[in-house]
Amino acid sequence: MKLLKLWFPVFFWCWLIFYLSGTPSLETPWGVWDFILRKIAHILEYYILAWLIYRAFKGTFVSSWINLYFWPGALSFLYAVSDEIHQYFVPTRGPSAEDVLIDCFGIIIFFMIIRRRAGAVRR
């Protein structure tokens, strides 16, 4: 039951990202605000993905640098890349290296916050 509680949110969130990136058009008539909001959404969705994977690894495996930082970061990044590859096959969408970089920004923000909190706890 513990594994389900830890890993179901990860798989659900991955499914949600996959579903939304498979939608042919998510544009709104808001022009530049549409662009800004979509980039913020990229940051938030991968921030949340990194957090969910971090949480699942922390609750499942022995705490180590590899399990708490490398794997959650690497898996989040690989999912961002696979998401862009998926968009290649979606009509009116396409892959974007820029979006992967923006996704990575969300992942990096998550880990910066975790590191900062860990430093504050040790003091």
Does position 123 have pLDDT exceeding 60, yes or no?
no
Tell me the DSSP string of the chain.
Answer: -HHHHHHHHHHHHHHHHHHHHTSS----TTTHHHHHHHHHHHHHHHHHHHHHHHHHHHHHS---HIIIIIHHHHHHHHHHHHHHHHHHTSTT----HHHHHHHHHHHHHHHHHHHHHHHHHH-
Question: Tokens 């808001």 belong to which residue?
Answer: 30
Model confidence over 43-98: pLDDT tens digits? 999 999 999 999 999 999 998 888 899 999 999 999 999 999 999 999 888 899 99
Does position 121 have pLDDT exceeding 70, yes or no?
no
Average pLDDT over residues 17-32: 83
- Maximum distance among all alpha carbons in the chain? 52
* 40 vs 117, residue with greater confidence: 40
